[in-house]
């Protein structure tokens, strides 16, 4: 009986310890979508190769995506996006470096869904702006998934909309991220 108790305590301790003790988690298959509602036609695209690293101890979080990795339904839209809007040859990457402000309130060792207040610097098209948003940290089955939705303005990143379609393309773009993270073994 005593042996059983010891095994149970051991399992409980290491069951929670396995997530809690690990410090860095990452993915290279994060899904990043953007959506822009416009009178003529809504524009949406998905990038399935987002890199994300989360340090659960410090709350530091970092994202990186290649702009050419965005997939559109229409080829012409994808070409215009890369050539005329984000100029992906000149500015191939978008990056976010930030901090989970309420990191101490997130118990990475306990299953649940936690609100994460994130603040950091987002760089797109060679321009860097400070952004603050709310995301969720989902801990289930020993895995961490981070999700966040936020809006950006194209004008903040000096992404110019050609005057011909200025009234038909929205300046506001909604970005959604979903990153299931794995333990980073060092």
Partner 1 sequence: MKRIYWIGVLVLILLTAGIFVYTEYNRKRADSYSLKPLFKATALDLLKEFSDNEQQANLKYAGQNIIIEVTGMVKEVIKNEQGNYTIIMGDTSSLSSVRCSIDTLYTSGVNNLQIGSIATIKGNFNGYKADEMGIGADVEFNFCVVTSQAPSSK
Q: Which is nearer to partner 1, 66 or 101 (CB)?
A: 66
Give 175's strand partners.
Answer: 34, 150
Tell me which of 49, 102, 128, 171 binds partner 1, using CB under 8 A: 49
Retrieve residue 134's tokens.
């709310």
Q: How far is CA 74 from CA 45, 46, 77, 83, 113, in A?
A: 10, 12, 5, 15, 36
| 35 scored as a contact of partner 1 (CB under 8 A) | no
Q: Which is nearer to partner 1, 16 or 97 (CB)?
A: 97
| 184 scored as a contact of partner 1 (CB under 8 A) | yes
Q: Which is nearer to partner 1, 1 or 164 (CB)?
A: 164
Q: Which of residues 59-118 bind partner 1 (CB under 8 A)?
A: 62, 64, 66-69, 71, 73-76, 78-79, 82-83, 88-89, 92-93
| 58 scored as a contact of partner 1 (CB under 8 A) | no
Supply φ then ψ for residue 101, to 5 degrees: -65, -35
State the nearest-atom distance from the C-beta of 10 to partner 1, in Å.
Answer: 31
Residues 6+ apart with CB under 8 A from 185: none
DSSP codes joined into one string, 90-150? TS-EEEEEEEETTGGG--TTS-EEEEEEEEEEEEETTEEEEEEEEEEEEEETTEEEEEEEE
Q: Which residues bind partner 1 (CB under 8 A)?
A: 26, 28-29, 31, 48-49, 51, 53, 62, 64, 66-69, 71, 73-76, 78-79, 82-83, 88-89, 92-93, 180, 184
């Amino acid at each position: 009986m005593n042996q059983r108790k010891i095994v149970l305590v051991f399992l409980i301790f290491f069951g929670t310890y396995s997530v809690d003790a690990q410090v860095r988690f990452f993915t290279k298959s994060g899904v990043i979508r953007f959506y822009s509602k416009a009178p003529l036609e809504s524009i949406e695209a998905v990038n399935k190769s987002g890199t994300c690293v989360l340090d659960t101890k410090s709350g530091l979080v970092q994202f990186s995506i290649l702009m050419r990795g965005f997939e559109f339904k229409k080829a012409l839209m994808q070409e215009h996006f890369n050539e005329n809007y984000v100029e992906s040859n000149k500015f191939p990457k978008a990056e976010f470096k930030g901090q989970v402000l309420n990191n101490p309130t997130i118990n990475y060792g306990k299953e649940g869904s936690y609100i994460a207040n994130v603040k950091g610097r987002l760089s797109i098209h060679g321009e860097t702006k400070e952004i603050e948003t709310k995301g969720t940290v989902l801990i289930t089955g020993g895995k961490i998934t981070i999700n966040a939705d936020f809006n950006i303005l194209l004008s903040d990143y000096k992404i110019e909309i050609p005057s011909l379609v200025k009234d038909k393309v929205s300046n506001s773009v909604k970005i959604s991220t979903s990153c299931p993270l794995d333990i980073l073994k060092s």
